[in-house]
Amino acid sequence: MTLKIGVIGTGAIGQEHIQRLHHKLVGSTVVAVNDINKAQAEEVAKRLTPAAKVFENGHDLVADPNVDAIVVTSWGPTHEEFVLSSIAAGKPVFCEKPLATTAEACLNIVNAEIASGRQLVQVGFMRRYDKSYRLLKEQITNGNLGEPLMVHCAHRNPSVPEVYAGDMAITDSFPHEIDVLRWLLDDDYVSAQVIMPRKTKHTRKDLDDPHMILLETKKGVRIDVEVFVNCPYGYDIQCQVVGEDGIGYLPEPMSVLLRKDAKLSHEILQDWKLRFIDSYDVELQEWIESVKAGVVRGPTAWDGYFASVTADACVEAKHSGKIVPIRIGERPSFYAPTALKPA
Ligand code: NAI
Ligand code: NAD
Ligand code: ISE
């Protein structure tokens, strides 16, 4: 059976995902697209999936009986309504991170999904599918590093577009670290603090950059993450786990070591699309298989909610200058790994 997918949002990552779902991965086809910018949706459909129907709005796409499952890649503030619409229609939905832009909106999704009685939502936290993060996690779970004590990370983008504004370093970029470190350490967060270093000359007047974010986990692990989104040299993701018995480094992306022009060098990637290209493929291929098998297995709406509560605490910490507790109730049994509800 081929899974017939409708994609809402045909911007940067929407186009990437349409390309892989329609042309690259096995067992799926894109039959419908929508974007608030209709001209763009039409151009993307014509170029990438000419037989797909272009819908006037996302809710009509969700309701179309020809659409088996939905992928939401519109910008963050629209995610809640399209995910809720998919749950109401009883259809599996893969939503790009963040699940929604406030914790309250994420909780609405969690409650709607629990009320539906079926696990339908997967969030696009693709780093869990990345080979390099999986290798690092193996070093922790096999005990090679001893108990983790500290984690040092950097999330660096060469530049960001005009639409990247306000606290998006915390609400749009940092959620990747929030999710992957929680998964890596098998731990939850208890407090957040944000320290603002000197501002770079490469950022706009209205955009703070860089940020230094500190998290503390339940087990007492201390995490520091530099989010620096106008760091001109490249797209660079770093993670170093300091354990009692050893230190594990996230492997660098593969590149040829060059001896040239009196220098010994490695290329540094410039684009997030390339750094995680394999992870998006694995993530969406596994999602296709799991939807077909009737059980969604990837990052859940609860993981999306946890990321949002953490991001909100970080935004509060940034603006208050205080250490802010991260308070979240116990994970509902609905989301226990052993209690997956058929989609
Ligand atoms: P984008 O701005 O290129 O694309 C967003 C698209 O959504 C635009 O085409 C816009 O017209 C459309 N849109 C906005 N409101 C809409 C509505 N109400 N109905 C239908 N379409 C609507 O943004 P980009 O970079 O593609 O990001 C989209 C989402 O993907 C974001 O949530 C972002 O955080 C996430 N993302 C995730 C990445 C990852 O590594 N997992 C990488 C890049 C983005
Ligand atoms: P983008 O701005 O390129 O695309 C967003 C699209 O959403 C635009 O085309 C816009 O017209 C459309 N849109 C906005 N409102 C809409 C609506 N109401 N209905 C339909 N379409 C609407 O942004 P992007 O970089 O593609 O990011 C989109 C999402 O993907 C964001 O949530 C972002 O955080 C996430 N993202 C994830 C990754 C990742 O690595 N997982 C990378 C990039 C972006
Ligand atoms: C973008 O939305 C992403 O998700 C990228 O993976 C991230 O590196 C970038 O900072 C975000 O803006």
Residue 235 near ligand 1, beta carbon < 6 Å: no
Angle at Cα 283 formed by Cα 278 and Cα 289, nearest 5°?
125
Q: What is the pLDDT of residue 52?
A: 98
In degrees and rounded to multiples of 5, residue 213 shows phi and psi of -115, 130
Where b means 16+ CB within 10 Å and e means fewer, 38-51 reads eebbeebbeebbee
Q: What is the pLDDT of residue 315?
A: 97
Q: Whose CA is nearest to atom 21 of ligand 2?
A: 35
Q: What is the pLDDT of residue 205?
A: 95
Q: What is the pLDDT of residue 340?
A: 53
Q: ipTM beyond 0.85?
A: no
pLDDT < 50 positions in the chain:
none
Q: What is the pLDDT of residue 337?
A: 78
Q: Whose CA is nearest to atom 11 of ligand 3?
A: 173
Q: Within 10 Å of residue 128's Cβ, how many Cβ atoms?
A: 19
Q: What is the pLDDT of residue 296?
A: 84
Contact call for residues 92 and 343 (beta carbons, < 8 A): yes
Q: Which ligand is nearest to the CA of 170?
A: 3
Q: Which residue ranges form the domains of the chain, and what is each CATH number? A: 3-125+278-299+329-339 (3.40.50.720), 128-275 (3.30.360.10)
How far is ligand 1, taken at its centre, from the CA of residue 247, in Å?
36
Residues 245 and 231: their CA atoms lie apart, in Å, by: 33
